Amino acid sequence: MTSEQYEKWAKDYGHFISKVIIRFFFGKFGGIYILNSYKFNYVPKFYFMNNKYFIEAGINWFGYIFEYQWNK
**What CA dihedral angle connects 21, 26, 28 and 31, to 10 degrees?**
-40
Instruction: Quote the pLDDT of residue 16.
Output: 76
Instruction: Quote the pLDDT of residue 33.
Output: 94
Instruction: Quote the pLDDT of residue 72.
Output: 82
Instruction: Quote the pLDDT of residue 24.
Output: 92
| pLDDT one digit per residue (tens) for the chain, 72 residues | 787 887 788 778 877 778 889 999 988 889 999 999 888 889 999 999 999 999 999 999 999 999 999 988
